[in-house]
Structure 1
Amino acid sequence: MKTKVALITGGYTGEAEVSFKSSAFVYSQLDKEKYEVYPIAINLDGWYYTDDQGNRHEIDRQDFSLDINGKINFDVAFIILHGTPGEDGRIQGYFDMIGLPYTSCSALTSALTMNKGYTKAIIQDIPQLYVAKSVLLFEAHRSDAFNTVKEKLVLPLFVKPNAGGSSIGMSKVKSWDALQEALDNAYDAENTGKQVLVEEFVVGREFSQGIYRNAQGELQVLPATEVRTTREFFDFEAKYTPGLTEEITPADLNADQKSRADEIIKEIYIRLNCSGMVRVDFFLENETDKFFFIEINTVPGQTPQSFIPQQVRASGRTETAFYGELIEAALK
């Protein structure tokens, strides 16, 4: 009997468009001889499955089941839902309550890592890992945010929503005249909790690297990707506009740098009690050769061009085998 997989997609934010592209690719790669896969859209207008004839079937939220010529109960949820409620722990908490296994990090880890400032507080003492000097601002600080930042940090700066994804609402600030607009953009970014993280800029090479736990319980580090963009930084346009960014997988790291990066990423995964696949972004500072943490993504993009699929292929694996491992690990 095939394993019934609910492929969770959509979301309540502007990242839903990327989520649908990611889940479509995952669906195309999953082994249909082994898995019976149902893409489930979770949107503000409903939770539903759309069949091949275009008919919409609503999910019964009491037990996350479908009724299509009889009741369908799922064995596992494969979460490819970027932003809220898939990346912030909400859907994970729901699945925990009804007892449905899922492929991503737990509700607590997902909620914590969605908050960039809180995440930095937990990982900042990991050996050989550094964090940029920063200020975390809440809504109550908004009226005096400009002065607070100017007193504590030096230019240039990164200003970003503390709980956002896909670089939405993020700005690089090179002059104090541009700071207020950047703060307002970050505060007002949709569904990000009106919290802002401001960090001093690290001059160096930017990398992104995936890691996951396989069905045998072993941590598997994927090859790193180096990101080189023609933009000021790796913003939303650079991420999703062809031709603006060069992505090199595997990255050109020497043996020492690769060894350090792998150990750091393993410790981040363990320290944050991660599950499934995650992606860690970091800088390698030019002058010091130190690794600086940027952020962790617990539901990384899965389009054919996304970092994780690139890294899976570079490691000699197929996406079909990789996604199968994530499902089998979740079932255990």
Structure 2
Amino acid sequence: MNKKSVLIIFGGNSTEHEVSCKSVMNFIKNIPDDKYQKHLVGIKKSGDWVYYTSDTALIPQNKWDSEASNTVCMLCPNKGLVLLDGQNTVINVDVIIPVLHGKNGEDGTIQGLFELCSIPYVGCGVVASGVSMDKAYTKIIVDNIGTIPQADYVLVKQGETSDYIKETESKFTYPVFVKPCKSGSSQGVSKAENREELVNAVNLALKHDSKVLIEETIKGRELECAVFEKNGEIICSNAGEAVAGDVFYSYEAKYNNADSKTVLNPDIPEGVNDKVKDYAEKIFRALGCSGLSRVDFFMEKSGNVIFNEINTLPGFTEISMYPMMMDAIGYPIEKLMEELIEGAGLSK
């Protein structure tokens, strides 16, 4: 049996490089070797692409990028993966899995390259990736659904920061949350308790992106829903809960705080699980998503469910919610990997 050639891309030149290097291990370990020929390409923080054939254990340790066997490579339209090894060796690629987070990984840019190369890939297409990555555009589209509550916000743009303090303080009471429009894993996100902290939080967020959201605080629990598309059918997991071991579910809380935990069957009021699944499917469809996404919500004490954000390339680390939630509804990790590969496509 001819094996499908699967190119797995990891790393990236975003602030979420390390998360990608952890996530990719789940793909390396769980894509069946008897069905698929795996090829690895690492994108260094510098942006350089290298074909990686060394010990995969070095990847999550962030020691992979200086291996002597690394070969500079590129994706080339009408050819596939080309190794710049002096012979321009060409590796045929049937499917690409971009295990990339953040800028240039889940914002539609690299998906555009895959389209130009006519190579099917896992995940959302160019437009859905770009819109979903930008929290401001996501809010506009979700608002047009008309039935899904979300936090009110103030939009701040680089170079247009003179009035945001006045606007924020006229709309909200402290504390507020400040987020870069285009970042994931809570990178650059801060909680501001007063005006001074607001200014510092906005300045921090502007280091991550040219647009920033200042959101009202929603007091409630953080619920998540894994969404998976199979042959046009949308499959939603039951709601899971992210319990922060910090004041909020920051990057440190997600990946480095032992007190943070995930709960697959949280104790939530009757009807909340169905509402989460209904909202997640509507948002997935409205944004034009395909393949997979994770949709995050808040649940207030009243049981009211409020949309927070969508992640079109959710984490696949050992502690990530998406694979755990999918496993709980009958998609263990190896089966999920196969389904994602076989469902890969173009022009999404």
TM-score when normalising by structure 2? 0.89
* Offset of residue 313 of structure 1: 2.2
- The residue that corresponds to 2:212 in the other structure is 196
Structure-2 change in CA distance of 1:255 and 1:2 (3 Å) = farther
- Cα separation, 2, equivalents of 1:230 and 1:51: 37
Structure-2 change in CA distance of 1:88 and 1:222 (3 Å) = same
- The residue that corresponds to 2:26 in the other structure is 25
- The residue that corresponds to 1:152 in the other structure is 171
* Offset of residue 140 of structure 1: 2.7
Letter matched to residue 315 of structure 1: I
- The residue that corresponds to 1:321 in the other structure is 335
- The residue that corresponds to 2:221 in the other structure is 205
- Cα separation, 2, equivalents of 1:28 and 1:223: 26
> Is the Cα contact below 8 Å between 1:5 and 1:77 reproduced in 2?
yes
Pairwise CA RMSD of aligned residues? Answer: 1.8
Return the match for 1:136 from 137, 155, 160: 155
- The residue that corresponds to 1:268 in the other structure is 283
Matched ranges for 1:100-119 at <5 A: 100-119=119-138
- Cα separation, 2, equivalents of 1:300 and 1:315: 17
1:241 aligns with 2:256: yes
State the identity %: 33
Letter matched to residue 244 of structure 1: D
> Is the Cα contact below 8 Å between 1:104 and 1:275 reproduced in 2?
yes
- Cα separation, 2, equivalents of 1:23 and 1:57: 19
* Offset of residue 58 of structure 1: 2.5
- Cα separation, 2, equivalents of 1:245 and 1:328: 34
TM-score when normalising by structure 1? 0.93
- Cα separation, 1, equivalents of 2:321 and 2:139: 22
- The residue that corresponds to 1:282 in the other structure is 297
> Is the Cα contact below 8 Å between 1:127 and 1:264 reproduced in 2?
no
* Offset of residue 20 of structure 1: 1.0
- Cα separation, 1, equivalents of 2:293 and 2:119: 20
- Cα separation, 2, equivalents of 1:139 and 1:52: 42
- The residue that corresponds to 1:186 in the other structure is 205
- Cα separation, 1, equivalents of 2:52 and 2:193: 48
> Is the Cα contact below 8 Å between 1:135 and 1:198 reproduced in 2?
yes
* Offset of residue 175 of structure 1: 2.3
Where do 4+ consecutive residues of structure 1 move more than 6 Å? none
- Cα separation, 2, equivalents of 1:59 and 1:269: 34
Aligned residues: 327
- Cα separation, 1, equivalents of 2:23 and 2:13: 16
> Is the Cα contact below 8 Å between 1:209 and 1:280 reproduced in 2?
yes
* Offset of residue 246 of structure 1: 2.2
After superposition, what is the alpha-carbon deviation per residue over 1:257-281, rounded to whole angstroms, capped at 9, x for unaligned?
1111111111111100101110011
- Further displaced range: 50-59 or 129-138: 50-59
* Offset of residue 203 of structure 1: 0.9
Letter matched to residue 152 of structure 2: K
> Is the Cα contact below 8 Å between 2:11 and 2:100 reproduced in 1?
yes
- Cα separation, 1, equivalents of 2:316 and 2:242: 17
The residue matched to 2:161 in structure 1 has which SS?
helix
> Is the Cα contact below 8 Å between 2:96 and 2:119 reproduced in 1?
yes
- Cα separation, 2, equivalents of 1:178 and 1:125: 32
The residue matched to 2:33 in structure 1 has which SS?
coil
* Offset of residue 331 of structure 1: 4.6
* Offset of residue 243 of structure 1: 1.4
- Cα separation, 2, equivalents of 1:237 and 1:31: 32
- The residue that corresponds to 1:167 in the other structure is 186
* Offset of residue 153 of structure 1: 2.6
After superposition, what is the alpha-carbon deviation per residue over 1:17-72, rounded to whole angstroms, capped at 9, x for unaligned?
11011011211010111111112112334212111485122223323414489521
Return the match for 2:267 from 241, 247, 252: 252
In structure 2, the gaps of 5 or more residues are 56-66
- The residue that corresponds to 1:38 in the other structure is 39
Letter matched to residue 49 of structure 1: Y
- The residue that corresponds to 2:49 in the other structure is 47
- The residue that corresponds to 1:82 in the other structure is 101
